[in-house]
C-alpha cells in the first residue's frame, strides 16, 4: 500500500506556516497544537503588561511607552490612550497617527487590528478578531480574522466590532452598536446588528481645485 499522506494540520508539515502565521491568517488553531506555547507565551506577557499599565496613574508619555511594549513595535508619538486597556495578544495591533483610544477598551487582536489615522475609539469599545469553532466537540479551537478601521472613523461608546469587519474612512459607529458586516465609507451605523442610518458626506468639506 502507498504511504499515507502527511496530516495537513501537523506543525511538522513543511508546507504550512508556523502557528503565529496560521493564527493571523485565519486558519483554525487548537490549544492542543504542539506549537501553541508560542501563542500562550505572548498572551501571558500581554496580561502582565496590561496589568502594569492599568495599575496606578501614568503620565501620557509613560502610557505611550507602555503601549509600545504591549504591541511590540514603535507607535507614532501622536497616539493617545486613556487606560485601562485590555488585549489578549497585542502584537497584531497597528495604529496610525492622531489615533485616540478612550477608557476601558478591549482589543482581541490575534487576527490583526489596524486603525487608521485620525480615528477616535470611544470608551468600552470592543474589537474582537477571534471566534471559537461552532462544533461543540471542537469548541477550544479558535479562528481569527482581521479588523480594519479606516481613517477619521469615530466608534462610539460600548460598540462591538466583530471579526472580519472593515469600517470605511470617515464612518461613525453609534454607541452600543454591534458591527457584524463591513461599514461603507462615510456611513453612520447603529443597532444590533448595526445598520446604516445616515451619512456624514454632507459634513465633509469640498475643496476647490
In tens, the pLDDT along 37-90 reads: 999 999 999 999 999 999 999 999 999 999 999 999 999 999 999 999 999 999
Domains identified in the chain, total number: 1
The model's pLDDT over 159-208, given as tens digits with 9 standing for 90+, comes to 999 999 999 999 999 999 999 999 999 999 999 999 999 999 888 777 64
- Residue 51 CB neighbours (<10 A): 11
In a domain, 13, yes or no: no
In a domain, 120, yes or no: yes
pLDDT at 209 over 80: no
* pLDDT classification of 7: cutoffs 50, 70, 90: very low
The model's pLDDT over 16-35, given as tens digits with 9 standing for 90+, comes to 579 999 999 999 999 999 99
Indicate the pTM of the whole model.
0.89
In a domain, 8, yes or no: no
In a domain, 9, yes or no: no
In a domain, 79, yes or no: yes
Q: Residue 194: which CATH number?
A: 2.160.10.10
In a domain, 49, yes or no: yes
In a domain, 209, yes or no: no
Question: Is 132 one of the annotated active-site residues of the chain?
Answer: yes
pLDDT at 14 over 60: no
**CA 120 to CA 103: how far, in whole Å?**
12
pLDDT at residue number 206:
73
In a domain, 76, yes or no: yes
Q: Residue 175 contacts by C-beta under 8 Å, 6 or more apart in sequence?
A: 122, 156, 157, 158, 159, 190
Catalytic residue among 58, 73, 86, 132: 132
Residue in the structure block whose three cell numbers are 482589543: 107
pLDDT at residue number 17:
76
pLDDT at 9 over 80: no
Domain hosting 85: range is: 19-200
pLDDT at residue number 205:
78
The model's pLDDT over 124-157, given as tens digits with 9 standing for 90+, comes to 999 999 999 999 999 999 999 999 999 999 999 9
What the block records as the C-alpha cell of 208 is 476647490
Amino acid at each position: 500500500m502507498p504511504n499515507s499522506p502527511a496530516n495537513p494540520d501537523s506543525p511538522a508539515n513543511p508546507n504550512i506556516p508556523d502557528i503565529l502565521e496560521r493564527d493571523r491568517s485565519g486558519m483554525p488553531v487548537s490549544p492542543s497544537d504542539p506549537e501553541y506555547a508560542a501563542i500562550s507565551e505572548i498572551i501571558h506577557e500581554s496580561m502582565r503588561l496590561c496589568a502594569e499599565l492599568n495599575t496606578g496613574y501614568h503620565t501620557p508619555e509613560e502610557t505611550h511607552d507602555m503601549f509600545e511594549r504591549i504591541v511590540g513595535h514603535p507607535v507614532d508619538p501622536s497616539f493617545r490612550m486613556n487606560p485601562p486597556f485590555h488585549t489578549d495578544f497585542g502584537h497584531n495591533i497597528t495604529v496610525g497617527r492622531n489615533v485616540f483610544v478612550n477608557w476601558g477598551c478591549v482589543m482581541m487582536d490575534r487576527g490583526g487590528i489596524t486603525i487608521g489615522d485620525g480615528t477616535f475609539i470611544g470608551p468600552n469599545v470592543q474589537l474582537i478578531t477571534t471566534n471559537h469553532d461552532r462544533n461543540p466537540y471542537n469548541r477550544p479551537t479558535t479562528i481569527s480574522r482581521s479588523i480594519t478601521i479606516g481613517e477619521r472613523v469615530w466608534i462610539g461608546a460600548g460598540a462591538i466590532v466583530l471579526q472580519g469587519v472593515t469600517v470605511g474612512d470617515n464612518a461613525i459607529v453609534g454607541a452600543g452598536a454591534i458591527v457584524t458586516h463591513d461599514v461603507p465609507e462615510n456611513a453612520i451605523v447603529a443597532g444590533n446588528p448595526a445598520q446604516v442610518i445616515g451619512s456624514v458626506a454632507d459634513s465633509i468639506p469640498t475643496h476647490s481645485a
